[in-house]
Amino acid sequence: MYRRESLEIRIEKARQRRTSMFRLTLRRMMRNRNAVLGLGIVTTVSLLAIAAPIIAPKEDSSFQRFRLLPSPTQQDLSNTQERGVIFSLIGNTYSYVRVLVSGESGDVDISKGLDSEHLLGTDHLGRDILSRIVWGAQISLLVGVVSQAIACLIGVPLGAISGYYGGKIDHLVMRLADIMFSFPFLLFAIVMVAVLGDTCVGRAWGGLLLVFLVLGVIGWAPKARLVRASVLSIKEEEYVEAARAMGASNTRIIVSHILPNCLSPIIVHTSLAMASAILVEAALSFFGLGVSPPTVTWGSMLASARQYMRTAPHMFMAPGLAITITVFGFNLLGDGLRDAIDPRLKK
Amino acid sequence: MSEPILEVQNLRTYFFTEEGVVRAVDGVSLDLRRGETLGLVGESGCGKSVTSLSIMRLIPDPPGKIVGGKIIYKGENLLEKDEEYMRHIRGNEIAMIFQDPMTSLNPVFRVGDQIAEAIQLHQGVGRKEALRRAVEMMKLVRIPLAEQRAREYPHQFSGGMRQRIMIAMALSCNPEILIADEPSTALDVTIQAQILEIMKTLQRERGMSILLITHDLGVIAEMSDRVAVMYAGVIVEYADVKSLFKQPLHPYTRGLLTSIPSLATRSKRLNVIEGTVPSLIDPPPGCRFHPRCPRAMPICSREKPELKEVGENHSVACFLY
């Protein structure tokens, strides 16, 4: 009788103990208020982006709705031409410049403030700002996710190979990474987008593909370094030697024994790097580079709001806040993840 | 006695470091027969583990390199084989368990999957079948509730249980030889006895040979058929277990045996072997033990003693005999 009972107790204990790493991390994160806030922001923005076609009924993404507009004033035209010159100097924003110069789009503020029909008001062309923010969320998140996916795809294998094999390969990869690090991130992105903007890659998907590629290619270096550092310590672990003694090949050891163990720094870094990718994309769009109209991005919304800053502050408040909140959310999430995955880092 | 399944002849493994060449293993010869247990004893850093890693060809290169000798397994010299061939040997023909069960299991995999991976690697069976066999192996090493525990992670196991998992993993492909590198050192004494018992039983059932590496003479007395005593990269005495414990010949072996505390002859102080293990970069000339040897003679610092047979199944490398 006694044996039976103790067996049942042990089964029950075993069941309760069976908590996975994932659940453990999640539980720890839920105890961290900032992390929960970050997760909440990121989830909300993601849901908005996914549901854009449903919840942004006022406009669609390729908005071209004209309204009866008053003819542009002299002041506005001169503004426009000035900008046109600046942009041609930078290089590749013909379409954007054309829209501005042709004048039919007005450049005259018919924006309205907040009302019941337009929760965040309308912009200088009478477009619903809330709808455009929601559509812009799609682009921002896409840029964050896809560019980081590309960065991981390049950086993780390079870092793993570099750390595992060492020697000449290691030297080569790390010096390449050093070169990447020696460029200012934003400047490098601007130059690359400007130079490649007129190629067929640059025009694909309204410039979106180019932004993905540029941000992805720039982003590989920190990931490679991070992975290399973890691989260097993990490859000395006894279980790696045990796997080798089991007859596992190098590829197998890297893919199934080492990489899963350096997943946590990659996850943390990726969530933080998404924030900076989103920021850089916004900056590119603000300069009129990268994703070209009519695709809505938060950066280009900011750019067009710039000239109406005094008269219609709501026009730049909305995209500006959207960028700030989203980036803030990703940063909180990344910090929270780091604390949750490696609780030793916390005091 | 049956024929040897593994012969190590004059193995020399050096490490080329910045301070100089470390002669970790300098001319070791062993033979392991089918079904027997050969104990390899010695202090820390005497080259026991390097010998076992050399047999598996797992010496990290650089800085390590096997510079000479032969390792003959079933008539084939393993040192001449390519990596592909060695991968087939490792785990499948010669398996190994390590000293520290706390770190020899990958923390991110369930233990069942880890055992199953080894089976899949060598036996060419599907995932499901491999998992079934993994659970079977876990039952064999007497892990209670094996089906359930196969789905747990290493951190949910105690040290003894993890070492059982390691044994299950090592034996899952039915190897001919099991190299056990201090399998019980990290465990407490009662668990140690259980682990050794499991190894012994499985050896009897499967007829495999064990190369048991340890510094614990108690474990050697319990487990081995024959013993090789290593000192500073060379074998100093090689005998069957009974004659070694009854009549140790080499002064080093005697020192080892008398430094074990015993209830019968309770003295105030334990015997110690004076001095420390010599540097393997610049080993003493002649017999490597002579600076610490209580019975050193002038010849000991001049010439290197060869291992010579002094009795039935008993060889010693010392000028006293």
**Alpha-carbon Rg of chain B, whole angstroms?**
20
| Rounded Cα–Cα distance for residues B208 and B33 (Å) | 9
The mean pLDDT value for B236-242 works out to 88
The mean pLDDT value for A173-199 works out to 85
What secondary structure letter does DSSP report for A122? B
Inspect the interface and report whether the beta carbons of A11 and B169 lie closer than 8 Å: no
The chain A residue lying nearest B59, using CA atoms, is: A241
Name the amino acid, one letter, at B85: Y
- Taken in order B52, B55, B58, B63, is the CA torsion positive or negative? positive
CA angle A193, A194, A195 (to 5 degrees): 95
Question: Do you know the residue count of chain B?
Answer: 321
Between these two residues, A341 and A248, which has the higher pLDDT value? A248
The mean pLDDT value for A337-341 works out to 79
A108-117, B154-163, B237-246, B285-294: least confidently modelled range: A108-117
Report residue B51 as tokens.
Answer: 């010998």
Of A18, A21, A238, which is closest to B108 when you measure between CB atoms?
A: A21
- Which tens digits make up the pLDDT trace of B67-92? 888 888 888 888 888 888 888 888 88
- Which tens digits make up the pLDDT trace of B189-230? 888 888 888 888 888 888 889 999 988 888 888 888 899 998
* The predicted structure's pLDDT at residue A347: 40
- Which tens digits make up the pLDDT trace of B112-126? 888 888 888 888 888
Closest by alpha carbon to A282, among A242, A246, A322?
Answer: A322
Between these two residues, A50 and B45, which has the higher pLDDT value? A50
Q: Is the pLDDT of residue B317 over 50?
A: yes
B90 C-beta neighbours (distance < 10 Å), count: 24
* Model confidence band, residue A149 (pLDDT cutoffs 50, 70, 90): very high
**Alpha-carbon Rg of chain A, whole angstroms?**
25
User: How many CA atoms does the CB half-sphere of A123 hold within 13 Å?
Assistant: 31
| Rounded Cα–Cα distance for residues A102 and A69 (Å) | 14
Contact list, B144 vs chain A (CB under 8 Å): 10
Q: How high does pLDDT run on average in chain A?
A: 75
The chain B residue lying nearest A22, using CA atoms, is: B108
Whether residue A82 lies within 8 A of chain B, CB to CB, comes out as no
Question: Do you know the residue count of chain A?
Answer: 347
The mean pLDDT value for B157-177 works out to 86
- What is the rounded end-to-end Cα distance, in angstroms, of chain A? 48
A151-160, A163-172, A249-258, B295-304: least confidently modelled range: B295-304
Inspect the interface and report whether the beta carbons of A247 and B122 lie closer than 8 Å: yes
Q: Is the pLDDT of residue A75 over 60?
A: no
What secondary structure letter does DSSP report for A256? I
Closest by alpha carbon to A301, among A88, A63, A94?
Answer: A63
Report residue A249 as tokens.
Answer: 């090949």
Q: Is the pLDDT of residue A61 over 60?
A: no
Element (H, E) at B24: strand B20-33
Interface test with B, best of A165, A246, A252 (most B CBs within 10 A): A246
| Rounded Cα–Cα distance for residues B66 and B12 (Å) | 6
* The predicted structure's pLDDT at residue A342: 67
Of A17, A249, A261, which is closest to B108 when you measure between CB atoms?
A: A261
The answer to whether the CB of B69 falls within 8 A of the CB of B241 is no
Q: Is the pLDDT of residue B316 over 60?
A: yes
The answer to whether the CB of B210 falls within 8 A of the CB of B128 is no
| Rounded Cα–Cα distance for residues A181 and A176 (Å) | 9
Inspect the interface and report whether the beta carbons of B90 and A238 lie closer than 8 Å: no
The burial of B306, by beta-carbon neighbours within 10 Å (0-12 exposed, 13-18 middle, 19 or more buried), is given as exposed
Of A10, A256, A263, which is closest to B145 when you measure between CB atoms?
A: A10
Strands B94-97 and B177-181: parallel
The answer to whether the CB of A93 falls within 8 A of the CB of A288 is yes
Interface predicted TM-score (ipTM): 0.78
The answer to whether the CB of B234 falls within 8 A of the CB of B295 is no
* The predicted structure's pLDDT at residue A153: 92
CB pairs under 8 A between A and B: 78
The burial of A324, by beta-carbon neighbours within 10 Å (0-12 exposed, 13-18 middle, 19 or more buried), is given as exposed
- Find the DSSP H helices in chain B: 48-55, 83-89, 111-123, 127-140, 146-149, 159-171, 189-206, 217-223, 241-246, 251-258
Give how far B10 is from chain A: nearest CA, Å: 23
* Model confidence band, residue A158 (pLDDT cutoffs 50, 70, 90): very high
Q: In what order do the strands lie in the sheet with B76-77?
A: B20-33, B4-17, B64-73, B76-77
Whether residue A347 lies within 8 A of chain B, CB to CB, comes out as no
* The predicted structure's pLDDT at residue B160: 82
- Residues forming beta bridges with residue B177, ordered by sequence position: B94, B209
Helix, strand, coil tally for chain A in percent (to 5): 75, 0, 25
Q: How high does pLDDT run on average in chain B?
A: 84
